[in-house]
Amino acid sequence: MSEIVIRPSIEADLPELIALNHLIWNGTNSPATIHYPSVTEYAEHYPPGSQFVAVIANRVAGYIGYKNPTGLLSNSHVLEIDIGVHPDFQRSGVGKQLIDYIFKWGKENGYYKVSIRVLETNTQAIAFYKAKGFIEQGRLIDEFFINGQFVDDLLMYKKL
């Protein structure tokens, strides 16, 4: 595999990021269908620079989004993330490199804790996060009703 380059997202990445989100999110890993009808709408939610992208051979292989969960000063030590990896690049180290990158970036930028939310049905992601040192800090019981069943939303964290 070619070298993985991780960098902040730019406007030219947005169409690939939209396509990636449409491809990977479904009823087993997301509480709702994700659909962005335009680059403009996607950019409203994820402006350039609000995600780091993993690029392999000029192709977006994955991304990791990051934000403060509340915008409150008292919560400014927490970095909430979301991550997506193209199926062609899953189990190839892209996700691991993105997580390692955000841990390093978070430390360098004064964050104390990284948190992520994941559906209990997304067992592969849960195993991956645990392998990267995340611990379950809470569970929203029956938080979503997806495909005829109640699904818990897990809150996981890792201190940097």
Average pLDDT over residues 66-85: 95
pLDDT for the residue 1: 59
Q: What is the pLDDT of residues 120-153, one digit of tens each?
A: 999 999 999 999 999 999 999 999 999 999 999 9
Write the DSSP string, the chain.
-PPEEEEE--GGGHHHHHHHHHHH--TTT-SS-----SHHHHHHHS-TTSEEEEEETTEEEEEEEEE-SS--GGGTTEEEEEEEE-GGGTTTTHHHHHHHHHHHHHHHTT--EEEEEEETT-HHHHHHHHHTT-EEEEEEEEEEEETTEEEEEEEEEEE-
Confirm whether pTM is higher than 0.85. yes
Which residue type is seen at 29?
N
Q: What is the pLDDT of residues 32-74, one digit of tens each?
A: 888 898 999 999 999 999 999 999 999 999 999 999 999 999 9
pLDDT, averaged across the chain: 95
Q: What is the pLDDT of residues 94-105, one digit of tens each?
A: 999 999 999 999
Q: Which domains does the chain have, with CATH numbers?
A: 4-116 (3.40.630.30)
How many whole angstroms separate alpha carbon 118 and alpha carbon 139?
Answer: 10
